[in-house]
Amino acid sequence: MWCWLWESIPSLTDIDPYSLAFAIVASILVICNVSSGVQLAELGRYWHNERREVDFHIVPAPNRSSGPSNNQSPINIETACYVRSNFVDPLQWSHYDDLPLGIRLENNGTTILLRAVFQGQIPCIDGGDLLGRFHFHEICFRWSWYNNAGSEHTVDNQHFPLEMQCLHTDTDSPDYTSSQSLLMISYMFSLSEDNPYLDVLVQHLATVQRAGQCVELPPFPLSYLMPPFYSNFISYHGSLTEPPFHRGAEWFIWPYPLAIGERQLNEFRQLRNAHGARISWNGRPVQQLMDRSVYFNEYRC
């Protein structure tokens, strides 16, 4: 025994400190995973009393939020599992460069909402594989206090610090009902230099720090915030991410993150909820993809 120990000490010191640290971290991770797997298994047994044997692979994860379980958003996007899709009808973005009559920013206690009124046509998108024309309705944002969390969607299990979701409906009336189709166009942001296009909005966040506060912004074209894209975007069929988790929302996700500076991100992190506390995270956890496909759409003329 002692001989073995003495023998192994010099060989341990031969190992470089990085691999040693790595090995320790790896074993801690393994231990944690095993114990959370055991917890899940316990829960699974609780739900399925008839099931006796413990099988880590078929135990369902606990429901993290109530609501319908099918076709829910957000999801994790696995870039290795894209279904490639070609379309020949180009996407048409109309009137996103128009100057609105007015833009209103509201802190509604869970997120920040941007709405706009237009003198002429409401900005709309059609073409591609879209079944109809979708009109701009409102923009909301998802963030958290941490740079490695915040976005609702994840790409290969990685969050972005901010996600901007632009809701579109298939009518141009200001209200929508459950019978209407929704298109959510979503952009991710990653930490970098300040983004001057975002300042038209970010510099006014301080005036809507408390829930219920609204401010009129000097108008700017929506294309400042929403750069149009024409190819190489992701789509899938999902839902709204807030109660009642309205189904029938088509998601378009622009997978190439836009820039946001730390200073700009911090303005979002100062926003407060209805209880006066700073909003620490306003996203819904990732939902299961189930039998849905995630498409990577390419325009072929």
Q: Which residues contact ligand NAG by CB under 6 A?
A: 47, 60, 63, 68-69, 108-111, 113, 140, 242
Alpha helices (H) along 86-211: 196-202
Minimum Å gap between C-beta 111 and ligand NAG is: 5
Nearest-approach distance from CB 146 to ligand NAG, in angstroms: 22
Beta carbon nearer to ligand NAG, 68 or 132: 68
Q: Which residue is nearest to ligand NAG (CB)?
A: 242
The residue among 202 and 249 lying less far from ligand NAG, judged by its C-beta, is 249
Rank residues 129 and 242 by Cβ distance to ligand NAG and give the closer one. Answer: 242
Shortest Cβ distance from residue 243 to ligand NAG (Å)? 7
Nearer of residues 140 and 294 to ligand NAG, judged by Cβ: 140
Residue with smaller CB distance to ligand NAG, 128 or 284: 284
Beta strands in the chain (DSSP E): 76-77, 83-87, 92-94, 102-107, 112-117, 124-126, 134-143, 154-155, 162-169, 182-192, 214-217, 233-239, 247-261, 295-299
**Shortest Å, Cβ 200 to ligand NAG:** 20
C-alpha distances in Å from residue 187, one per residue of 197, 205, 242, 243: 14, 19, 18, 21
CB of 80 to ligand NAG, least distance (A): 27
45/60 Cα distance (integer angstroms): 10
Q: Is 118 left (phi over 0), alpha (psi -120 to 50) or beta?
A: beta
> Shortest approach of ligand NAG to residue 271 CB, angstroms?
12
- Residue count of the chain: 301
Identity of the residue, 142 or 269, whose beta carbon is nearer to ligand NAG in the bound complex: 142
| CA–CA distances in Å: residue 36 to residues 31, 54, 55, 75, 157 | 9, 13, 13, 22, 18
Please list, in sequence order, all residues whose beta carbon lies within 8 angstroms of the beta carbon of residue 295, skipping any fewer than 6 positions away: 82, 83, 84, 85, 234, 235, 236
Q: In this structure, are residues 166 and 136 in contact, taking their beta carbons and an 8 Å threshold?
A: yes
